[in-house]
Structure 1
Amino acid sequence: MTDSPSPALGRVGIWTFAHEGQPAARVRESAAEIEELGYGALWYGEAFGRDAVGQAWLLLSATRRMTVASGIANIALREPRTTAAAERTLGEAFPGRFVLGLGGHRVDDTVHVVDGYPVPGLGRAVPTMRAYLASMDASPAHGPRPDPAPRRLLAALGPKMLGLAAERTWGAHTYFVPVAHTERARRLMGPAAFLAVEQAVVLDHDAARAREVATAHVAGYLEAPHQVASLRRLGFGDEDIVGGPSRRLVDAIVAYGDLEAIRRRVDLHLAAGADHVCVQVLTADPSALPLREWRTLAPALVPHPGTADGNG
């Protein structure tokens, strides 16, 4: 683990898909409030709402200090030269505040149809990502250069991608992982690479209701081969995966219950080697902004500015 967290990200941030379905004005209001609550970074996914570049610009323009990070921008959807140009533009317009997370989950050369939309395959994951990074670096650059240069992270689960993240970028952004994976990732990447870990949480004192939301979240990712492969490497078997997630698997992936349960899980990731934990709040309505939960969690998870672990 690095000696101290990046001063730009702090130790705890917010990760959310919920902004994709919201009108731009609502996104701006929400992002500004997340910043005022003291969270060090705002992470967002890229599915079939806004594209990663447009969403970054919207979030960055609505905030003043907070880091905005793609988690992740899908390399299957854009050419390396286009990504490099967007990275430079965002980095120059918002100095030191944009982190480019890159990834892509399709690992063959066929065209996949997702929600009726054809998406090209990527080929083998690690060689493809290595070549993509090289192409980004070789892209011609004209006009102003960002200072400092934007940081890059790779979506990484397996040992080879974690190794590439440590070798070629600032570090790794891990998603849908238990604390045991954070321990492994830190050992594999060494002490210098930055490690940003997503942690799904359900803030609800009703344990049965919270577990129901958590189980639905985990079940959805068992359709993704790369996530199943990651879980199997960590010792989860058919009894945990086939026919729906086991209680053991749900409890490992999602922290649910009261504030203390969630704070304890975040602290475990930090102790295991994470530099930054981005909390994804789950609710019964995935399309709704979990503003109440973000507000409630902030005093428990975000150190007061000026303390030893504060974001400022």
Structure 2
Amino acid sequence: MIVNVSILLGISLLLLYVILFYEYYRRKEKVLLYFSLAFLSLSVGCLVNGITHLASLSVFVSFFWIGTIEMLSPGIIAKYSEDLKYLSLVPIVAYLYFSVYSVLVVLVIDAVIMVLSAFLLYMEGGNPKFSPFLILLFSVLTFGLMTYPDLIFKVQVVIAVILGYIITVETLKVTIPAVVKEKISLKPGVLFMKEVPDEILKTALVFSRNPGDENNERWFWITKVQEGSRTIEPTNLVKILNLSVKYLEQGGIVVIDGFEYLVLENGFESILKFLAHLRDYALLYSSSVIVVSDLTNFSERERNLILRVIGEEI
């Protein structure tokens, strides 16, 4: 019995689509919708006769780009995320307008958009770290479609399946529990405390240098030892910010312990930007972020900058 490779790859992409779309339906996270549609569009190129690889690829690139921006939007690109999303229209418009005149132009635009996606993921330092290189390889192979369209498209689909598997595993690995709302009166924004009351820790989303109780689904261990779904590397500020924003959106309280360690691993300027984003989202959702730290550990200049970023009077 001869197995049709295109059908096998198409079914793999459809499976990724179903899983991610179900998670979107359950969790209402737009990033899951965009990535699911990206894999759906690529599967059409494998399964439907008459649909060109170029059309399927261009739609895939469009949804993959907007999914990447949505995933990273709470991070350093937050200020420009809405504008960057408009770039998702470029591959589709390029295909509709240029495909008749110059296939190369369409391929170049698709490749450039994917390279930009790889660059943003690399700069944000997300996990797994080899994902940007897979996307870059996908981009480079795009030019091979001019010479060996069937073969190169299949190789690109294989890479897409690997990326889809990574995205699916990362999605299913970490879920944000529902907020247990208690009447705790706190000022919205970012607050610095030397100690956090137990009544807050019981319901807060906590990022700490201590492992905590492994059964506590609201506790994440900040460590370079990556074991289990509740560990986060100290340099992965994007993931910490994403999880925090989702919890703040529900009206929950976020606690960040080990602030000095984060400064040591990321640098003071990066942490200032991180605090600024946390403050903005906390105010937006009328919730609070508690940073466990004694500001006297910092120089006067650093204290003033921190207070200015979180909106406190100096």
Same fold, TM-score > 0.5, yes or no: no
Q: Which has the larger radius of gyration?
A: 2
Q: RCO higher in 1 or 2 (8 Å CA, sep ≥ 6)?
A: 1
Considering fraction of residues, name the structure with more helix: 2
Alignment TM-score, normalising by the size of structure 1: 0.26
